[in-house]
Chain A
């Protein structure tokens, strides 16, 4: 599948009807999602035939894209039933069976039980600003525990230094993969030390 095809498919994904500010629900734009997934797929080979988790999946644009790029299975995690409902309808409309969903609170998730169960984690987490301070780092910590190979995550450029420091504390290798415009996110790749494959 070409990047343009992926992006145009993802443009048909429905997103939040009424985003909830407290949960920092903003959709990942089809353009950003397609670029991110395409790079993960083509440059790093971390989607095709992999078990992928999408933390804070919302309406599922990243998960659906990963499934379109032939992930073995992509499991979406989110706390919000309205978002999951839209995700489920999207999956039905696209007739994609390689998706599964879990409703849970990632803040009180004991990520250890999922330790290394997933090959890859992809996510566009809450930025952890205002009401949700530190939420981005909670998601990241959980993601790093769950992924055996790599975590791909979108973050604000303004938090990069902090994330770099944390990555060092946690003993993982961090790499900035892409800086995306729209004053929104920069995309990062985290490699677990035991399986650095660069």
Chain B
């Protein structure tokens, strides 16, 4: 699970009104090299929940020095875009779980794939 994907994931446990962002509890994290595409990263940034991304990166120990508030004019800032590229697309959680911030329900991540399926009880 890459952090770009994590940035979109929400818990749908019954009764939960704000199942976002999911807390990452990782036991294995890996960094997979991916070609840097500055245009793609620039286009993704405005759609992100920036705070959730920075928090996730922090939790995994890959925050680098990403600021808590999104900076202005990032499109021209290649150094910044490279850091965002790294946390969005290269850092991957291989094993661990995602915890719903409201219900505490945990969704396992196995071999890099988060399992968001619910049981009948919590659907």
Contact = CB atoms under 8 A, between A and B. Distances in A.
B89 A73 contact: yes
Given A75-B5, A113-B10, A102 B114 contact: yes
Most chain B beta-carbon neighbours within 10 Å: one of A72, A79, A101: A72
Contacts of B8: 113-114, 117
Given A79-B117, A103-B115, A103-B116, A98 B34 contact: yes
Interface string A102-141: 1111001110011011000000000000000000000000
Interface stretch (B36-44, B53-61, B62-70, B71-79): B36-44
Interface string B1-16: 1101100111010000
Contacts of A88: 111-113
B34 A97 contact: yes
B1 A100 contact: yes
A100 B32 contact: no
Interface in A127-185: none
A49 interface: yes
Q: Which of B4, B8, B43 has the most CB of A within 10 A?
A: B8
Interface string A11-50: 0000000000000000000000000000000000000011
B111 A97 contact: no
Contacts of B47: 116-117
B33 A100 contact: no
Interface residues of A, number: 26
B1 A72 contact: no
A194 to B, nearest CB: 15
A150 to B, nearest CB: 16
A66 interface: no
A50 B118 CA distance: 30
Interface of B: 1-2, 4-5, 8-10, 12, 20, 32-34, 37, 39-40, 43-44, 47, 89-90, 111-118, 123
Given A51-B44, A108-B12, A110-B12, 7 more contacts: A81-B113, A88-B112, A103-B113, A103-B115, A103-B116, A104-B115, A117-B47
Top-9 shortest CB links A-B: A72-B40, A104-B116, A103-B115, A97-B32, A113-B10, A100-B5, A101-B113, A97-B34, A49-B40
